[in-house]
Amino acid sequence: MKVIGISGSARKNGNTAILIETVFKELEKRGIETELIQLFDKEIQGCKGCFACSGKEKCVIEKDTFNECFKKMIEADGIILGSPVYSADISSKMKAFLERSGVIISVNPGLIKYKVGASVAAVRRGGGMTAVDTLNHFLLNKEVLLVGSTYWNMVYGKDIGDVLKDEEGMRNMRNLGENMAWLMKRLKSV
């Protein structure tokens, strides 16, 4: 089993990556393979709304790195979407990734159906619930089985590493990893 984590942060190894890696540690303890994709250095254009992806499992725009990331997501058993909060919502790169993924999956239903998913957000002050809701709405609308934890999946911090000071938030990330592993193992045994 494998979980792909996609960080929409503009910063390499920033707070969002730290959150995803924290969830990963719990998954790895339980024998689940993980891979982190960081969008900070990837070119991802927004969706053109051409719907030429119908009948295909990829976008017809091939001059950026979207298809490479999307393919890894549809091949994985689990998905973690993570974003920092910018202007009270997810980052523009994550938004572009979700828009294109959403259209492809809408015209090619079932590509991520029954995968196990979770969303996390790195928050400086406000907008955390909006960001988590945006990520969760994508997963729920694409028939992904959503995993929760003991509280909302957001952790507070501004500078890289500040999220580690939010003890409750980090505890929530570890619990999220435990819950995700539990569900994935149960589904595999069915």
Q: What is the pLDDT of residues 113-123, one digit of tens each?
A: 999 999 999 99
Q: What single-letter DSSP state applies at residue 30?
A: T
Q: Where are the alpha helices (DSSP H) in 7-145?
A: 15-29, 66-75, 92-107, 128-141
Which pair of structure tokens corresponds to residue 27? 């998954």
Domains and CATH numbers, the chain: 2-188 (3.40.50.360)
Instruction: From 46, 56, 45, 30, select the one nearest 116 (Cα to Cα).
Output: 30
Sign of the Cα torsion 5, 6, 12, 14 reads negative
Is the pLDDT at 13 greater than 90? The verdict is yes
The predicted pLDDT at position 190 comes to: 85
Residue 94's pLDDT band (cuts 50, 70, 90): very high
Q: How far apart are CA 114 and CA 51, in angstroms?
A: 24
Query: Coil, strand, or helix at residue 82?
Result: strand
Which pair of structure tokens corresponds to residue 70? 């999307």
The predicted pLDDT at position 161 comes to: 97
In the numeric block, the tokens 């910018």 are attached to 86
pTM: 0.97
**CA separation (Å) from 146 to 10, 116, 137?**
25, 6, 10
Burial of 49 (0-12, 13-18, 19+ CB in 10 A): exposed
**AA identity, residue 61:** I
Contact 139, 116 (CB under 8 A): no
Q: What single-letter DSSP state applies at residue 38?
A: E
The predicted pLDDT at position 68 comes to: 96
Q: How far apart are CA 40 and CA 6, in angstroms?
A: 10
Residue 77's pLDDT band (cuts 50, 70, 90): very high
Give 17-73 pLDDT, tens digit per residue: 999 999 999 999 999 999 999 999 999 999 999 999 999 999 999 999 999 999 999
The predicted pLDDT at position 32 comes to: 98
The predicted pLDDT at position 175 comes to: 98
Contact 80, 3 (CB under 8 A): yes
Give 130-187 pLDDT, tens digit per residue: 999 999 999 999 999 999 999 999 999 999 999 999 999 999 999 999 999 999 999 9
